[in-house]
Structure 1
């Protein structure tokens, strides 16, 4: 059978099953790209169907052009009107690199099915090779135009993104007003009746030797890296506005925003404080609770997502600074007048608690003999009126140390 009839027949066979072919591409995208798996199928289907039809039409045109080389003549690859605008809109929800990967994945699925149809018609490798090159050239040209379009769209949308981020920040900090001209935009960003989980997140602190590498470069916004990481890890759970853009911002160098549900898994690579699901009027209260959870988790060296309740007494230290101030005055201030010696005694008590009251382990962490540590702990008890064998006194010392670590020294 001549290839001039084989190709149109194979394309016609795929056109006849265009719905099933589109479903197969969608399944492949959702199986390989988590960002696509998080989107409703109905939102993906129209764009996938357009891309599949365009690819098949390209092969059909190739067959009707007497197999002219796709590398010659400045061949142009036509996209449907408005397609790039739709893709640029999609790029506000999905990473551009995922959109490019989606074209590659879709091309692989279509090519595999086309190859099967051609093989069923006894096509040769020589007949398939130029078609494969045509499809590859089309995919390359299309993705290049997508990248350029998305970058242009991103530049045009920057002021809108900044305005949306400011609205989200106002919602979280309780500064949003609904009786001013911006109220309509806030309504579009967050429906009054919808429950959302406020979150606040930051990158985990590495060891002292790694800390400089985790800081942004000169002139960089300290929240940029945390925000990028949050967008990457929390993408499936991020709440979005009516245009599908994530409701995220930065607050004092931390990523912050709204989620539609609690993140699955441990969310390693990020420390996340979570509020409870709340309507718009209560978001600021729950964001405060998320802030408490974040600070407590970060201070404890934890990684993952936590609510304030899950962190128990750690979060209470953050939420009740007045109690901590009292305990610092009671249990630690008597050491202040001892200067360097008092600081050494406080360090000894902190190491003892940090090592689970194991004397030898605490001594090793301080590089001192156990008898030296034992003597320092005795002097700590004498100067502060503390009995480290009394659970109540022990709890107060722990709280005072945690308060000073989290809130800093009293002014």
Structure 2
């Protein structure tokens, strides 16, 4: 008994260079092309019948629309073969345009792929009929079959790429619309009528109370880190968070105030209806600017900052008072920094000398000396309420205007805010 010979897979035939074919084969190809050129309507009707039977997703397209797309593919095929070119490149271009148009009309990727495969099958069936009429060589016909099915697989990759690009484009457009809405609400640029009309587009109830947040990104690349941290804190998907750049700040519209935002300073406004949220953001922005001036961290609210926001006000007044009280202090040179920082810590620690000494890692007598020296140079008596308030205001205002912050304290020390009123100065 002879052993069975294993069945071998047929060798895939590659399309030859059509221009290099012998004269007889070229004549057969030319006859086939001429015949195919007269069968546009036959192919269109066969393709229509096939997709209507097997592709329900094409139901949103009219019969004439489907026929027109079939004619376009036939035109490309005939045009390329007439010039003795294999129509791969031309088909890739038309496939991209076709996929964009179909995807825009809501036809999914898998439906497009099935439709193209059915079209390829109908085209090959028609070509088989024509090949028999014009005596197209069998080897060439088989190469056309192999090439067509190979390209059909590539078409699926073209459709996938187009669908991905469209999804990215839609997401980008959606993000821009969400950002524009947030900017209009938080910046006060939208009237109440528009806010109430468009709120549902972003899943918001106009009269429900929302919270405005303000934050500051350290760089353009830091914006995404802040966005993700806020999204996590308020339990909203990062891609659905309403965020906009409003002036120097990042503004957020969130359903609730966060308890904390990991690694970032965030200011919280009061809960308000959407059409009044610009006032809430203005309050949050003031709280943020104040917190930055005082080197605070965590979640802050304006109501918890006491008189600190006053240091942001009155530039002409501050300049006049600084010239009157701080000029002599500045003239002392490098020691002025130690004196100034000690005086500020003394006020922040409620005039507790031992606490200031611990905070600055110096002897209590050093604290007393520097505070006395500050009073002598500035002529501000810290036992008098008016002078104490003036000193506190000037020192903290100057701190925010300088590029150098807390140079007298060891690295990492400063005033930390935990969100409650009456917080004491402590080591950060």
State the TM bucket, normalised to the shorter chain: 0.3 to 0.5
Instruction: Provide TM-score, normalisation by structure 2.
Output: 0.46
Larger Rg, first or second structure (1 or 2): 2
